[in-house]
């Protein structure tokens, strides 16, 4: 998609972080942006902040883990804004993981999978039929993570496995749409190349009561990217970070070139991926991924 002007773009998880930054970047390009998020107050603040910069966006509260909520979002956008040509399935959460898989609580899995995996599925089911019907140039962009798609960090089994599912869903979706010679292109976004400064680590604020965290589970020492930076520094590692605005600029550049893999280069992560693939092809032992 070489020109974003007047394209209707829907972005879930759009009230902050990468979603917000992509919305701002698209609005600057003249796109008709609809930001969606589970947090209504954060959406209102996002809209107000963008308007201060002279950027116009529409907003609509929606819960990606709820199929009917996503169907309602699609109906709102198509009736009030226009035919959707860009769908950014961007909403995601990261549960506070400190336990082994066998000690985790089912609620942790159900919450993370409900947003990270079923949120993608619900977005596709709610929007793709109409995107196919209108026949205009269109693109679906699923936000993923190298942690899950390329390597599997042992410290985050729930998040990692959910993003592995996103990678598989995205690849199958692309192949199905290509085989049907549809008007829809698919891209998969890997925010980076370093840990992105977002609110992902504080996603527990939006966790539903019925999927509450085990009150007896150990408290996680990391609630922000700054916490992670400080922890790594105490271990003698200077951790690099990436801003959401850098992710958004890279994403739009890659989309304009029709890329499927929107994945910035990171030497250490790529080496960890190569080590994993080598172990598969050689039938050798699985290495512990070292990305720092």
User: In the structure encoding, which two tokens stand for residue 108, read together?
Assistant: 């942790």
The DSSP-derived string for 170-228 is HHHHHHHHHHTT-SEEEEEE---SSEE-SSGGGGGGG--GGGPPPTTSPPPS-SSHHHH
* Length, in residues, of the chain: 292
Pairing of strands 84-89, 8-11: parallel
Q: What is the pLDDT of residue 99?
A: 85
Instruction: Give tens-digit pLDDT for 173-225.
Output: 999 999 999 999 999 999 999 989 888 877 888 899 999 998 888 777 666 77
DSSP letter assigned to residue 99:
S
Minimal CA–CA distance to 99: which of 245, 251, 218, 261? 218
Alpha-carbon 27 to chain mean position: 19
DSSP letter assigned to residue 12:
T
User: In the structure encoding, which two tokens stand for residue 199, read together?
Assistant: 């609110």
**Residue 238: band (very low, low, confident or very high) from pLDDT cuts 50, 70, 90:** confident
Round to whole Å and give the CA distance between 289 and 251.
Answer: 26
pTM of the full structure: 0.94
Catalytic (active site) residue 159: yes
User: In the structure encoding, which two tokens stand for residue 88, read together?
Assistant: 């950014």
Which of 20, 113, 159, 260 is catalytic? The answer is 159
Residues ≥6 apart with Cβ < 8 Å to 169:
117, 120, 121, 124, 142
Minimal CA–CA distance to 20: which of 197, 196, 205, 248? 248
User: In the structure encoding, which two tokens stand for residue 105, read together?
Assistant: 């609580």
Minimal CA–CA distance to 140: which of 194, 179, 178? 178
Instruction: Give tens-digit pLDDT for 242-263.
Output: 999 999 999 999 999 999 999 9
Alpha-carbon 129 to chain mean position: 22
Minimal CA–CA distance to 32: which of 62, 13, 61, 9? 9
Enumerate domains of the chain plus CATH numbers.
Answer: 8-266 (3.40.50.720)
Task: Find the range with the poorest average confidence among 101-115, 125-139, 188-202.
Answer: 188-202
Round to whole Å and give the CA distance between 32 and 27.
Answer: 7
**Residue 227: band (very low, low, confident or very high) from pLDDT cuts 50, 70, 90:** low
Element (DSSP H or E) covering residue 70: helix 67-80
**Quick check: bond before 128 cis, omega within 30?**
no
Instruction: Give tens-digit pLDDT for 143-164.
Output: 999 999 999 999 999 999 999 9
Residue 10: Cβ-neighbour burial (10 angstroms; 0-12, 13-18, 19+): buried
Q: What is the mean pLDDT of the chain?
A: 94
């Amino acid at each position: 998609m070489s020109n974003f002007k007047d394209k209707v773009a829907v972005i879930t998880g759009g009230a902050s972080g990468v979603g917000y930054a992509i919305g701002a970047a698209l609005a600057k390009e003249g796109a008709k942006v609809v930001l969606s998020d589970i947090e209504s107050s954060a959406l209102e603040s996002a809209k107000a902040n963008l308007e201060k910069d002279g950027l116009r966006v529409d907003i609509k509260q929606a819960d990606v883990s709820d199929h009917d909520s996503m169907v309602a979002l699609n109906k709102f956008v198509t009736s009030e804004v226009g035919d959707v040509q860009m769908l950014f399935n961007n909403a995601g959460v990261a549960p506070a993981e400190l336990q082994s898989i066998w000690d985790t609580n089912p609620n942790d899995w159900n919450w993370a999978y409900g947003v990270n995996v079923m949120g993608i599925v619900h977005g596709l089911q709610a929007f793709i039929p109409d995107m196919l019907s209108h026949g205009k140039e269109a693109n679906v962009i699923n936000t993923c993570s190298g942690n899950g798609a390329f390597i599997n960090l042992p410290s985050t089994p729930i998040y990692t496995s959910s993003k592995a599912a996103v990678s598989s869903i995205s690849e199958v979706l692309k192949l199905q749409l290509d085989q049907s010679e549809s008007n829809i292109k698919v891209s998969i976004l890997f925010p980076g190349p370093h840990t992105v400064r977002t609110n992902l680590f504080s996603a527990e604020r939006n966790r539903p009561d019925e999927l509450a965290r085990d009150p007896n589970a150990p408290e996680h020492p990391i609630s922000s990217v700054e916490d992670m930076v400080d922890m790594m520094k105490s271990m003698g590692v200077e951790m690099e970070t990436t801003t959401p605005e850098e992710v958004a600029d890279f994403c739009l550049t890659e989309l304009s070139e029709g890329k499927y893999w929107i994945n910035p280069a990171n030497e250490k992560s790529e080496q960890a991926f190569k080590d994993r693939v080598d172990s598969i092809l050689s039938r050798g032992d699985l290495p512990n991924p070292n990305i720092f």
